Chain A
Amino acid sequence: MSEPKFKKNPFSLQLDVSKFELATEEEKSQQERMRPSVSFWKDGLRRFRKNKIAMACAIIIVFIALVVIIVPIFYPYSYSQQLGVRPFMPVDDSFNNLAPFTYSTTEQTLRDAGQFVWPHIFGTDDLGRDYFIRILVGTRISLLVGFFASVIVLIIGVIYGSISGYFGGKVDLAMMRVVDIIYALPDMIIIILLSVILRQTLGNLIAGTVLEEIGTGMISIFIVFGLLYWVGMARLIRGEILTIKQQDYVLAARASGAGGKHIIIKHLVPNSVSVIIISACLQIPSAIFTESYLSFLGLGVSIPMPSLGSLASDALGSVFSYPHRLIIPALVICLIVLSFNLFGDGLRDSFDPKLKR
C-alpha cells in the first residue's frame, strides 16, 4: 500500500486550511441551478415566438385579413361598380384601363375644380372598375375559401376518422378501403369535372337565392373539397385514436383505474390536437392554391365577384399592355401561400411532439 508521497515543501504557496473544511448543503445547492419545467403549450409558444420568420408571417396574415375585412367597408369604390356606367347617361370610356394613380377625364375635371378624388391605386380594369378594391375583395374571397375549405376538411376528416378508429375491426377496414380508393383518385381532374357539372346542375337550383351571390363555382369548390380532400385528415385522426386505444388497454391491464383516463387526456390530447391543428393550417394554402387554379381556368367564382385567380386569368389577354393587372394578383397569391406555409412550418417546428429534441 503506498501512501501519497511528496518531497519537502512542494507547495509554492501557503495552504489555506479553512478551505478544506466540509461544505454545507446550501453551498452545494447554490451550484445546482435547476431549469424550471414548463408545460407543453408554454414551451411551444416560447419556441414559436423565437422563430422570427414564423412570427413575421403570422403578423402578415393577420394584417392582410384585417385589411381585407375592414377597408372595403370604407372604400369609395365597390368591386362591381363600373365607374363609367351611370344610369340614363352615355358610357364614359375614359374610366377604362386607367394606369395606377391616373384619373379619368371626368375625375380630372373634378380635381381641377379643387375636389378631392380618391386615387385609383391600381388603376382600373377594362370595364372601368377600380382594381385596388377588386384585388382586396378577391383576396378576401381567397382567404375565406381557404379557411372554410380547411374547416370542412377538418370536420369531415375528424368525424370519419374518429368513427373508423373508435369502432375498429371490420368497420374500420371497410372505411379505410374507401379512403384508399378516394386517395388514389387523381384529384385535380375530378375537381375540374365536378366543377363543370355542378356549375351546370346547381345553376338552376340556386337561382334567386342567397347562394347565387356566392356563385356555383364557389359552392362547387366547397363540395369538391368536402368530397375529396378530407381523406388525409381522416387517416391522421384514425391513427391518433388507435394510439389512444392502445394506451387504454395498457392502462386497463394495470390497476390504475380511473386515474389513467385523466392521464390519457392530459398527455395524448395535446399531442393529437397539435398535429391536427398543424395539418389544418397547412391545408389552407393548398386550398387557396386550388381555388386560384380553378378560378384561373374559369371554374371558380362567377362574375362579377373577383377572385385572385380569376383576376389573373382576365388579365392574361392584355398582359403585354397592362402587365400590372396580372402581376399584382399573382404576387398576392404567392404572398398569402408563402406566409401560411412558413407559419405552418413554424407551428410544426414548435409544437410537433415528434420533432421535440
Chain B
Amino acid sequence: MNSKTVWYIVKRILLAILTTWIVITITFFAMHAIPGGPFLSEKAVTESVLEALNAKYGLDKPLFIQYLNYLKGVITFDFGPSIKMRGQNVTDVILQRFPVSAAIGLISSGLAIFFGVVFGSLAAVYHNKWIDKTIMVFSTAAVAMPSFVIATILLLTFCGVNGILPIGGDTWQGLILPIVALMMYPASYVTRLTRSSTLDVLSQDYIRTARAKGVSFVKVIFKHSLRNALTPVITYSGPMIAYVVTGSLVVERIFGVPGIGALFVNCITNRDYTMIMGTTIFLTVLVIVMILLGDILYKIVNPRVSFD
C-alpha cells in the first residue's frame, strides 16, 4: 500500500464526513421547518401543557442552540428521547430494530452478489447459447420490477390463505420472502454487469496469451478473467447497499417485519422528530460507510486506479 493509496483513502474519508454533516444539518433544519410542531396532531392540549412539553424536549430554545446540542448528541451517539414513543430513547429503539434489517440486508446483498457473479459468468462463457439467452431474459425482466412489485407477487404466491411461509419477523422463515424480494433487483443487475464485464475481459489480449501458454479454460476464467471482471461489481456494491436500505422500507412494510425500514416510514407519518433524525442519520451514515468501504476495496484490488 503506497502513499498515493493512503492519500486517496484519507480524501475519501474526509468527503464522507463532510457528506454526513451535510445530511445531519439538512435533516435538522428540515424537521424544524415543518409548521405546527410535533404535538399538534395529538388530542387537543392546553397551552401550558404545550409549553411544558416544548420545554421538556428542549424545543423552546433558539434554533441554533438546539442544533449545537443535537450535534453534540450525535457525536456521542445519543439521539435523545423519542417524542412519540414515551419513555424510549431513539438510540435504543434503533438498536433494537436494526438487527433484523441488518440480517435481511446482509444476506440479500451477499446472495445477490453470489448469484449475480455466477449467472453473469455463465452467461458470458456460454455467450449466445441458450443458457445466456435464458439468463438475460430473466435478469432483464427482474431489473424492471420495483421491489414492492416483486414483494407483492411473492406475498400473494406464498402467503395468503394457503400460505406456505409466514410473515412477520419473529421466525426465521418469515425472513425468507423479504430476503428474496430484496435480492432480485441487485442480483439481476450484478448478473448483467458481470456478464458484460466478463465478455469484455475475455476479448482482451492477455486472455489469449494465457490460452497460448496452455492454461486450461477453467483456470483462465477463474484466475485470469474473474479478478479483472469483478472490479465493476465492487464499484456497484456501494449503490447496491443504498438500494437494499431503501428497498427495505417497502419490503418490511409489506411483510410486516419490525425492522428499521418500517420504523422510518412510521416515524415520518407520526412526525416523531427525534426518531426521524436519528433514523435518517443512522441509515445515511450506514450507506456512506458502505460506499466508502467499496471505494477503498476497489482501489486495493485495482492498483492502477487513481483518484478522479
Contact = CB atoms under 8 A, between A and B. Distances in A.
B33 A188 contact: no
Interface string B244-282: 011001100010000000001100110000001000100
Interface in A200-248: 200-201, 204
Contact of A193 (B30, B144, B153, B287): B30
Contacts, number: 115
A232 to B, nearest CB: 12
Query: How many B residues are at the interface, by size bracket?
Result: 35 or more
A297 interface: yes
B36 interface: yes
Given A181-B15, A341-B140, A312 B245 contact: no
A292 B146 contact: yes
A338 B156 contact: no
Nearest to B287: A186
Nearest to B277: A193
A14 to B, nearest CB: 51
Contact of A201 (B22, B34, B242, B287): B34
Interface string A183-204: 0111111101110110011001
A319 B149 contact: no
Given A190-B26, A297-B249, A323 B19 contact: no
Contacts of A319: 152, 155-156
A180 B15 contact: yes
Nearest to B149: A330
A201 B152 CA distance: 33
Given A181-B15, A333-B149, A334-B144, A189 B35 contact: no
A312 B141 CA distance: 19
Contact of A181 (B22, B254, B268): B22
B143 interface: yes
Nearest to A195: B268
A189 B144 contact: no
A184 B249 CA distance: 20
Given A188-B245, A201-B34, A319-B152, A297 B265 contact: yes
Interface residues of A, number: 39
Given A196-B268, A338-B140, A190 B23 contact: yes
B93 interface: no
Given A186-B23, A201-B33, A292-B148, 16 more contacts: A184-B19, A184-B288, A186-B287, A188-B249, A189-B283, A189-B287, A190-B26, A192-B249, A192-B264, A296-B250, A319-B152, A319-B155, A326-B152, A330-B153, A338-B140, A342-B140
29 contacts: A184-B291, A185-B22, A185-B23, A185-B284, A186-B283, A186-B288, A189-B23, A189-B246, A189-B287, A192-B264, A193-B30, A196-B34, A204-B35, A292-B148, A293-B250, A296-B146, A296-B250, A297-B249, A298-B269, A312-B149, A316-B152, A319-B155, A320-B160, A320-B161, A323-B156, A327-B152, A337-B144, A341-B140, A341-B143
A197 B283 CA distance: 18
B74 to A, nearest CB: 16
B66 interface: no
A184 to B, nearest CB: 5
B146 A197 contact: no
A285 interface: yes
Contacts of B249: 188, 192, 297
Given A296-B250, A341-B143, A189 B30 contact: no
A44 B265 CA distance: 46
A187 B244 CA distance: 13
Contacts of A337: 144-146
B91 interface: no
A250 B15 CA distance: 36
Contacts of A185: 19, 22-23, 284
- The interface centre, meaning the residue of B15, B19, B144 with most chain A CB atoms within 10 A of its CB, is B144
A333 B146 contact: yes
A273 B287 CA distance: 34
Nearest to B163: A320
Given A188-B246, A201-B35, A312 B148 contact: yes
Contacts of A297: 249-250, 265
A166 interface: no
Interface of B: 15-16, 18-19, 22-23, 26-27, 30-31, 33-36, 140-141, 143-146, 148-149, 152-153, 155-156, 160-161, 242, 245-246, 249-250, 254, 264-265, 268-269, 276, 280, 283-284, 287-288, 291
Among B33, B152, B265, B269, max chain A CB count under 10 A is at B152
Contacts of A190: 23, 26
Contacts of B16: 184
Contacts of A327: 152-153, 156
Interface of A: 180-181, 184-190, 192-194, 196-197, 200-201, 204, 285, 289, 292-293, 296-298, 309, 312, 316, 319-320, 323, 326-327, 330, 333-334, 337-338, 341-342
Closest 9 CB pairs of A and B: A188-B246, A338-B144, A330-B149, A186-B287, A337-B144, A184-B19, A200-B34, A197-B30, A320-B160
A232 B160 CA distance: 42
Contacts of B31: 197
B141 A338 contact: yes
Nearest to A335: B144
Nearest to B249: A297
A200 B144 CA distance: 32
Contact of A197 (B23, B34, B250, B287): B34
Given A334-B145, A337-B144, A341-B143, A189 B22 contact: no
A329 B242 CA distance: 25
A312 B152 contact: yes
Given A181-B18, A330-B152, A285 B246 contact: no
A184 B15 contact: yes
A106 to B, nearest CB: 31
